[in-house]
Amino acid sequence: MQPSPYPLVRLKPKADARKIRHGSPWVFASEVVTDRRTKKLAPGSLAVLQDSERGELGVVAVNPNSKIFCRMLDRDPGAVIDRAWLAAKLARALDLRARLYDRPFYRLVHAEADGLPGVVIDRFGDVAVIQPNAAWAEALLPELAEALRDVTGVTCVIKNASGRARTLEGLDEGHEVLFGRAPEGAVPVEMNGATYMADLVGGQKTGLFFDQRDNHAFAARLAARARVLDVFSHVGGFGLAALAGGAASALAVDGSEAALVLARDGAAQMGQGARFATRKGDAFEVLEALAREEATFDLVICDPPAFAPSKQALEAGLRAYERVARLAAPLVADGGYLGLCSCSHAADLARFRGACIRGIGRAGRAAQLIHTGFAGPDHPLLPQLAESGYLKALFFRL
């Protein structure tokens, strides 16, 4: 076997090498021998990870500026991380999505769960949007974009470099068209009979949240002839799905007028503009205002941003989820349905469910939990990394 071209990084004697051997993809700075040599490694460098007995565990991406010092790329210590390696990972990810979906609109790469740590790629037909949220992916971005073109045949790749994950890696923010021509205006995406307008250049994240696809479909089953309230709606997620499911009306609430414009455009594309309304404002304030107006709905869904993006924010986040439930529950007609969602990986299902139940109880409502949903299969979960299974959706009958 040829010697690896990469330098060595070693675990401390007390670090648990079994965790790495059993599939954990992260090694924290506290677990690594950080001498002057390793501290001088540039963020995004590749290295071979050794345990304390000098057994080789695999090839890792290194970032001395991050709490996650090493991200496992390949458990073969002789692997070479190049364009061909990237193409093989992308081809494996594409095979799964091609089996799941008959049209090329999905999350193509879900970071660690697809063997590309920190990399998110969403596909919108002939356009792919990459979020390189780890230093190694930023360093290899040209090769990654070329491999993506070779494997999928996309004609345009856009870099969306924003968000908390990049900040934690010490990376800057910004958007860039890596090759091809970016779409002029929003791209229509059909899911569950609804049409969503995705702004791939200026929109939030990659422009659309594919992860709620299955939960949208469940909500649509509850929506026949219903009056629907969609809070934290972004570009119309649950509201447009409800209209596709036969809802009598849908009101979308969001703090972003740009997102609401896209939501209205989506409703118009569906021929449902007359049954769709929007209300811009702080979600908590709008919920309180609707209560004062004595408004009621047959189906209320709240899909807020991550209130608990870290362990440090967990308790405050749980209080926020409880407050959402407390304010939303009174707006649900007797026998109606309440959907509550969380994309906070720090709030596990049990804690999120507890916060929601407390909020419903504080509102004086009794509830049946009828369904628990998660992200769709294009967002696979890596069993050794709880963070990859971040999305929870609870549906109650009140």
114-140 pLDDT, tens digit each: 999 999 999 999 999 999 999 999 999
- Mean pLDDT over the full length of the chain: 94
2 located within any domain: no
CA distance 300 to 318: 19
Q: What is the distance between the alpha carbons of residues 316 and 37, in angstroms, rounded to a whole number?
A: 40
CA 230 to chain centre: 19
At 2 the pLDDT is 64
Which pLDDT does position 388 carry in this prediction? 85
The band of 1, judged by pLDDT with boundaries at 50, 70 and 90, is low
pLDDT given at position 52: 84
Per-residue pLDDT band at 206 (split at 50, 70, 90):
confident
Q: Are residue 276 and residue 376 in the same domain, yes or no?
A: yes
Contact criterion met (CB below 8 Å) for 141 and 178: yes
pLDDT at position 86 over 80: yes
The DSSP call for residue 32 is: B
In this prediction, residues 139-166 reach a mean pLDDT of 92
Considering the domain architecture, whether residues 312 and 338 belong to the same structural domain is answered as yes
Distance CA 217, CA 199 (A): 22
Are residues 251 and 222 part of one domain? yes
Q: Give the span between the Cα atoms of 213 and 220, in whole angstroms.
A: 11
Question: What is the reported pTM?
Answer: 0.94
pLDDT in tens, 272-316: 999 999 999 999 999 999 999 999 999 999 999 999 988 899 999
Name the catalytic one among 70, 156, 302, 343. Answer: 343
Question: What's 70's domain CATH number?
Answer: 2.30.130.10
**Residue after which a domain boundary falls, among 116, 151, 179:** 179
Residues 296 and 352 in one domain: yes
What contacts 140, CB < 8 A, 6 or more positions away? 44, 81, 86
- Of 46, 74, 102, the position where a domain reaches its end is 74
Q: Which residues contact 127 (CB under 8 A, 6 or more apart)?
A: 154, 155, 156, 157, 158, 180, 182, 183, 187, 200
Name, in order, each residue with C-beta under 8 angstroms of 54's C-beta and a sequence gap of 6 or more. Answer: 10
Both 247 and 305 in one domain: the answer is yes
- Does the pLDDT value for residue 204 go beyond 80? no
Contact between 134 and 67 under an 8 Å Cβ cutoff? The reply is: no
343 in catalytic set: yes
Assess if residue 1 is contained within a domain: no
Domain with residue 162: its CATH number is 3.30.750.80
Looking at the structure, do residues 65 and 126 belong to the same domain, yes or no?
A: no
**Dist. CA 195–CA 287, nearest whole Å:** 26
Q: Are residues 208 and 355 in the same domain?
A: yes
Q: How many domains does the chain have?
A: 3
Range of the domain at 379: 189-397
Q: How far apart are CA 281 and CA 96, in angstroms?
A: 39
Are 310 and 342 contained in the same domain? yes
Q: What is the pLDDT of residues 376-394, one digit of tens each?
A: 999 999 999 988 889 999 9
Q: Are residues 280 and 349 in the same domain?
A: yes
